């Protein structure tokens, strides 16, 4: 039995292994019947909400949009390497599509074998859409990644070489530029934030240069995290997204772009088994617009940086912090000298709001911050030791070397003290003597108490505390000896707490762990 997989909807393979997204979904067709069933209501019962019926025809909308949807193909220099071929779909006997795909694969094979310049033929086929009449085209990064040449084909079969303005791998967005002789038809942006689950949408693509393909459906969900990246915020739709549709627009009934088709969910784990099953994903327009504007202006994307590392607030952690609700982003590390430290953020703070937007979980905060411009003054609402605190942070710029940035403690080896065991939670601890530091490869400036053994099936083991971990705080108070830990654990039990909050350092990273006391 194969496991489900997320599949990008354009046939490229270069970056699939890195991202865990396969690029060769098989082309499958399905018939979608759209309709509304109206049920009578019993006398006296409140009338049910009436669903908006589908339009009589999508044709007028599609006719206006298709000229702005393009096919994108790429060529890539291949050295001593054969290009992978697209899987051959099955078609009914006599179908013209069968001849088309056989001819296409034959040309691809001839390109692989012929010529002495080691340049392959079309290795990627996807879609894109024009967002400016002067020739700016948006598509997915995975459609053009690694390309030496990029060709854009319009609806009327006009072909133009495109230059790459810039890409953003973090959101899988790329911006291209062509030089047309006349103004091109262009799409307009819609407000993806205004979308509601159940709204009608139309997905358009231009795979293989066949011309536009159109499917219709509804918004099935919002804010989906499919594990493609740390800024995942996908729209989910049941409008079929198939082979070659990556980079095409998802539009509303007003003819506005509200997303870009990017990936599908498929139950097949093999490339040949992949296909649309009515679960497709699109990048929201609000994300695309921000990235595209920056790529157009500077060729790169600058993101806001708060200067903290955060984790989710679990039910146990919420209980130990006496939070009424399980919400917010728990600050595990405040980067020294970063914007957060300068603004007064502290380890153990729970950020529940930024610029008036509720932070319901840890995943939301990095995405919201990253979309803000560098220098923006973000207004945070923070829970700290039972009370609310307002903190204003002037955001810095996120760089590769600032994505982590664990805080370092003061230098010192700490006092040496005999090993101690807390049987009730299954921990055996030792002070950070030179011998212990050497045994567990603890850096010289680390502070806390070393975990030397964890009893099997104990509360500590169930929370995945490991030998070699350092307990830095217990109940948000620093500890330096096994006795400190034992005293604070005992105090928490005496106070009737079900768990005690530990701050644990592991391999240089800090994380909070709610250790059960029962």
On whether 430 is known to bind a ligand per the annotation, the reply is no
On whether 244 is known to bind a ligand per the annotation, the reply is yes
Contact 322, 496 (CB under 8 A): no
Bridge-based pairing state of the strands 256-266 and 188-189: parallel
Contact 394, 373 (CB under 8 A): no
Contact 499, 514 (CB under 8 A): yes
On whether 35 is known to bind a ligand per the annotation, the reply is no
Q: Rounded to an integer, what distance in angstroms lies between the CA atom of residue 224 and that of residue 465?
A: 30
Nearest to 253 by CA among 17, 47, 60: 60
Q: Rounded to an integer, what distance in angstroms lies between the CA atom of residue 206 and that of residue 244?
A: 7
Q: Which helix (H) or strand (E) holds 282?
A: strand 280-284
Place of tokens 């072909």: 159
Catalytic residues: 142, 172, 246
User: How far is the CA of 84 from the CAs of 23, 24, 78, 89, in angstroms?
Assistant: 11, 10, 11, 15
- Using only the alpha carbons of the chain, give its radius of gyration: 28
Residue 383: CA count within 13 A, CB half-sphere: 19
Q: Which helix (H) or strand (E) holds 350?
A: strand 350-354
Contact 226, 22 (CB under 8 A): no
Per-residue tokens: 223: 């804010």
As annotated, the binding site for substrate includes 142, 172, 244-246
């Amino acid at each position: 039995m194969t496991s489900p997989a997320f599949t990008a909807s354009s046939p490229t393979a270069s970056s699939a292994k890195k991202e865990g997204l396969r690029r060769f979904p098989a082309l499958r067709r399905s018939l979608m019947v759209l309709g509304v069933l109206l049920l009578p209501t019993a006398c006296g019962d409140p009338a049910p909400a009436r669903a908006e019926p589908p339009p009589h025809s999508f044709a007028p909308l599609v006719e206006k949009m298709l000229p702005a949807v393009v096919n994108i193909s790429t060529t890539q220099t291949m050295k001593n390497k054969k290009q992978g071929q697209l899987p051959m779909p099955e078609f009914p006997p006599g179908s013209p599509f069968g001849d088309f795909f056989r001819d296409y694969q034959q040309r691809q094979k001839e390109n692989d074998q012929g010529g002495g310049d080691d340049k392959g033929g079309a290795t990627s086929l996807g879609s894109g859409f024009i967002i400016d009449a002067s020739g700016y085209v948006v598509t997915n990064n995975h459609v053009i990644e690694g390309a030496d040449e990029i060709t854009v084909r319009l609806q009327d079969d006009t072909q133009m070489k495109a230059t790459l303005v810039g890409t953003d791998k973090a959101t899988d967005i790329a911006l291209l530029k062509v030089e047309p002789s006349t103004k091109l038809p262009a799409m307009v942006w819609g407000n993806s934030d205004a979308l509601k689950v159940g709204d009608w949408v139309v997905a358009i693509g231009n795979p293989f240069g066949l011309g536009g393909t159109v499917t219709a459906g509804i918004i099935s969900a919002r804010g989906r995290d499919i594990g493609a990246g740390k800024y995942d915020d996908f729209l989910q739709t049941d409008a079929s997204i198939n082979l070659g549709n990556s980079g095409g627009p998802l539009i509303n009934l007003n003819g506005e772009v509200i997303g870009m088709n990017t990936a599908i969910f498929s139950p097949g784990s093999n490339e040949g088994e992949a296909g649309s099953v009515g679960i497709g994903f699109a990048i929201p327009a609000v994300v695309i617009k921000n990235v595209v504007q920056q790529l157009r202006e500077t060729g790169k994307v600058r993101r806001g940086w708060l200067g903290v590392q955060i984790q989710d607030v679990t039910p146990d952690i919420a209980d130990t912090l006496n939070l009424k609700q399980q919400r917010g982003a728990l600050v595990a590390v405040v980067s020294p000298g970063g914007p957060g430290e300068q603004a007064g953020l502290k380890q153990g703070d729970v950020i529940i709001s930024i610029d008036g937007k509720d932070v319901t979980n840890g995943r939301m905060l990095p995405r919201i911050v990253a979309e803000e411009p560098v220098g923006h003054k973000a207004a945070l609402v923070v829970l700290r030791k039972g009370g609310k605190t307002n903190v204003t942070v002037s955001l810095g710029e996120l760089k590769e070397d600032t994505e982590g940035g664990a805080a370092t403690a003061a230098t010192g080896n700490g006092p040496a003290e005999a090993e101690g065991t807390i049987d009730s939670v299954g921990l055996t601890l030792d002070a950070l003597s030179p011998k212990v530091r050497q045994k567990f490869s603890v850096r010289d400036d680390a502070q806390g108490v070393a975990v030397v053994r964890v009893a099997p099936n104990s509360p500590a083991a169930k929370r995945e505390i490991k030998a070699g971990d350092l307990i830095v705080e217990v109940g948000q108070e620093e500890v330096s000896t096994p006795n400190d830990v034992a005293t604070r654990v005992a105090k928490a039990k005496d106070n009737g707490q079900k768990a005690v909050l530990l701050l644990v350092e592991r391999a240089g990273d800090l994380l909070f762990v709610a250790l059960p006391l029962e």
